[in-house]
Amino acid sequence: MSEHIVVVGHGMVSHRFVSTLGTRYAHADLTVTVIGDEADPAYDRVGLSAYIGSWDRPSLHMEDALHSADPRVTVRSGRLVTTIDRAARTVELDSGECLPYDTLVLATGSRAFVPPVPGHDLPGCHVYRTLDDLDALRADVEHARPGAHGVVIGGGLLGLEAANALSQLGLTPHVVERNDRLMSVQVDARGGALLGDLIHDRGITVHPGVTDTVIEQGDRNDDDNDLHTRSDAVTRADALRVHLTSEGRAKTVDAAVVVFSVGIRPRDELARDAGLALADRGGILTDSACRTSDPRVWAIGECAAIEGTCYGLVGPGYASAEVAAARIVREGEGHSAGGRPGAPGTDGGTDDGPEFTGADLATKLKLMGVDVASFGDAHARTPGCLEVKVDDPVARTYSKLVLGPDARTLLGGVFVGDAGPYQLLKPLLGRTLPPSSPLSLLTPAAAGGDGVGVDSLPDDAQICSCNAVTKGDLREAICGGACDVAELKSCTRAGTSCGSCLPLMRKVLEAEGVEQSTALCEHFDQSRSELFEIVTVTGIRTFAGLIERFGRGAGCDVCKPTVASILASTSSDHVLDGEQASLQDTNDHFLANIQKNGTYSVVPRMPGGEVTADQLIVIGEIARDHDLYVKVTGGQRIDLFGARVDELPAIWRRLVDAGMESGHAYGKSLRTVKSCVGTSWCRYGQQDSVGMAVLLETRYRGLRAPHKIKMGVSGCARECAEARGKDVGVIATETGWNLYIGGNGGATPRHAVLLAGDLTDNQLIRYIDRAVMFYVRTAERLQRIAPWLETLEGGIDHLRDVVCDDSLGLAAELEGRMEAHVAGYRDEWSVVLDDPDKLGRFVSFVNAPGAPDPTVQFERRDGRKVPVLLGSPAMPAPA
């Protein structure tokens, strides 16, 4: 007789439980009814923040969220279980319907905890837990005044996610934390301090050590139904006033919304009302098999207190789901050896089936570009343990390893700012480290070591903690025919939850000798260079057309800007024309480089560093009239900092009228061509370096590429323009020019290498045309010329064959493409100024086009303004 299982709750853990029944136990004679109280079936709660902006609920649904592939399963969404009758083995729904069960699985999850602070239940107060929560938050934010603040109560992992969400919604976030630092559970004091600084630099004000919080009704206009009009947009005043006390000092933040993110509590009300045993601190008490005090009832995920402990992460939840699924099927088939327990945790309560053996509580996130990770004994609480720390205040990174008293056993680690070593070190938790200096594990290059490679990991090292997949599991799958990450995900489930293990999965594939896919992203199987050829051959001029014919899905933040760059590289269409505009990142969207406080820089082009007196006067007048910070750059031009987005058109109108054009400081394109004065003024100059620099910058301006490009021209071997530190370097000789390729002075400095020597002017131009266009055509996304040259098969010798000897027969085509770019070049800002539709993009707030951004603030330093982020103390003036 078929056994009927009722599952209460339909979140990620419930989905894993039912999916496990469908994949591993498809033979079992059972039926399943899943009851979820949310309108949506199971969705990715870990990726909840991805809902913001798209507002597309189905995009977050778990794969086969309705379990349509398993005919034994029925999903009923939007229904609440109100009562469990254990004697009758039935559950009653809010509709009055009564459903029988043979086995009941409680997967009710948890709820957001709201502390009983005064005012916590006022309108405008929210939690950050479900899609409905985000919709409610969005509705309030849409009516907030421009520049409104949002307060998040709680500075843990979810609190920072919520703060990032408020920033994405256009608010200025504040994070209130009762401890002395952010993420106090995961990182130590120094890591928390650095994290606070990094988060602050991204526009989030942190209030640590808050001992008392009171929320009151804020400024509302009762005569206008709590709304008032600003310009032609209807906006709501700050709804709430949040009073904070820290170290005896009080402060107040006027806010449009308050979001509580201070933790979760297990949803155990159903179990309590049904008389099931609960743990002392809440949660449905189970044994290590996830069985409750009733042998017919099981509990999994965040609602379960497994042997008295609740786990609030998806990894342990998945483990409990798989344990329960295996046990239920085993008992249903009559394989139980130990009988059913009278209470969880008793010695007689388990058989020889799987058990829950613990949880990996490691944490890794990337928030607004900031890496944070920790694992194991991050706070060094093990007696006799040792700590190895690397604190780099210049790079603004912090790393720590916690070792056992033997100085060889890895007990834990913390990473802030750069979590690069985390992926390879975490699987070594509790193991003996390689016989190199522990310092080399954190900074292998600086310490002269090689760090840890995937080869050093044993087969039982866990690669995917969310799904308990080991290196051995991956190797077994690879031996079974899995040849890429997608196939590994399919057959092992590794990488299907948080996704942080994907880079390590690729390294395992490489270590096993499997050639890796060069697919741009999950939406295109082709590499960037292959897509470049497709666009060239087919003449497709839209992202929609390209993805319809050669890709799938709607695209992502990897393929959209990449395709935008390809389209720009293969035509002279304006980057803000039609669909192109929606593909651009922030800098290209506003044709300006965004700065740390949300303002933009204005950088007119000055080929060769040359500028007329009249142009200098215009620049000075603009800086004075708009109160901009002025700086002469290392690239021989003048930067104007501090312009609001709505000021950009007026500024550029004056620059264009003065004969200047965009310097493309914001684009993945040619930036500058630095030069010395050459034969114009210098007694050592051998060629006209200024004239050549002007020619090169004028020729290649606006050329879109996989990465920014910088060039330099030196008039003699003294190298005053530092040309060999540039992507393309030119150095004068007695008889002509030497051409160098592949240098840069960035994070990994490299000297360019000689491609050809003693070239005439015409030869030099032709060779640069070919080399740069070959790079644009074949490099991968965000790959600068130096690493491109390193990965190019044959390296500089192959490039020399292609450029100088035309070994591939591409010289005429490459030169022709460059000539087409030169002929079709138009200054991007000139085009914008003549197009009312494009000008309409340059506003601070869509709902208040004429309103300046009040979150942009400055202070005076040495008589000039510099940015101040809200809540930050002003830097004292020098003595």
Q: How far is CA 331 from the centre of its chain?
A: 44
Q: Where in the chain is the domain with CATH 3.50.50.60?
A: 3-111+265-349, 125-262
Q: Where in the chain is the domain with CATH 3.30.413.10?
A: 668-825
Mean pLDDT (whole number) for 242-267? 93
Query: Which superfamily, per CATH, for 3-111+265-349?
Result: FAD/NAD(P)-binding domain (3.50.50.60)
Mean pLDDT (whole number) for 225-250? 63
| Cβ pair 36, 8 in contact under 8 A | no
Q: Which CATH number fits domain 125-262: 3.40.1260.10, 3.90.1150.10, 3.50.50.60, 1.20.1560.10?
A: 3.50.50.60
Please say if the pLDDT value at position 222 is more than 70. Answer: no
Lowest mean pLDDT segment, chosen from 109-118, 449-458, 693-702: 449-458
Please say if the pLDDT value at position 837 is more than 90. Answer: no
- In three state form, how does the secondary structure of 80-149 look? CEEEEECCCCEEEECCCCEEECCEEEECCCEEECCCCCCCCCCCCEEECCCHHHHHHHHHHHHCECCCCE
Higher pLDDT, 200 or 339: 200
pLDDT tens for 596-654 read 777 888 999 999 888 999 999 999 999 999 999 899 988 889 999 988 888 999 999 99
Rounded to 5°, the CA angle 825-830-835 comes to: 115
Tokens 């002929």, residue? 823
User: What per-residue confidence (pLDDT) applies to 873?
Assistant: 44
Mean pLDDT (whole number) for 121-127? 94
Rounded to 5°, the CA angle 550-552-557 comes to: 105
What's the pTM?
0.60
| Residue 17, helix vs strand vs coil | helix
pLDDT tens for 431-440 read 888 777 777 7
User: What per-residue confidence (pLDDT) applies to 371?
Assistant: 84
pLDDT category, 231, cuts 50, 70, 90? very low
User: What per-residue confidence (pLDDT) applies to 451?
Assistant: 55
| Cβ pair 90, 101 in contact under 8 A | yes
User: What per-residue confidence (pLDDT) applies to 318?
Assistant: 92
pLDDT tens for 128-180 read 999 999 999 999 988 887 778 999 999 988 899 899 889 888 889 999 999 99
Cα distance between residue 618 and residue 168, in whole Å: 36
Across the chain, mean pLDDT equals 86
pLDDT category, 346, cuts 50, 70, 90? very low
Query: Which superfamily, per CATH, for 363-511?
Result: BFD-like [2Fe-2S]-binding domain (1.10.10.1100)
Biggest CA–CA distance in the chain, Å, is 102
Q: Where in the chain is the domain with CATH 1.10.10.1100?
A: 363-511
Higher pLDDT, 636 or 91: 91
pLDDT category, 589, cuts 50, 70, 90? confident
User: What per-residue confidence (pLDDT) applies to 448?
Assistant: 40
pLDDT category, 677, cuts 50, 70, 90? confident
Element (H, E) at 48: none
User: What per-residue confidence (pLDDT) applies to 581?
Assistant: 72
Please say if the pLDDT value at position 502 is more than 70. Answer: yes
Please say if the pLDDT value at position 765 is more than 70. Answer: yes
pLDDT above 90 covers a percentage of the chain that reads 52
Mean pLDDT (whole number) for 384-397? 90
Q: Which CATH number fits domain 668-825: 1.10.3720.10, 3.10.129.10, 3.40.190.10, 3.30.413.10?
A: 3.30.413.10
pLDDT tens for 523-564 read 898 989 889 989 988 989 889 899 999 998 888 878 888 998
pLDDT category, 717, cuts 50, 70, 90? confident
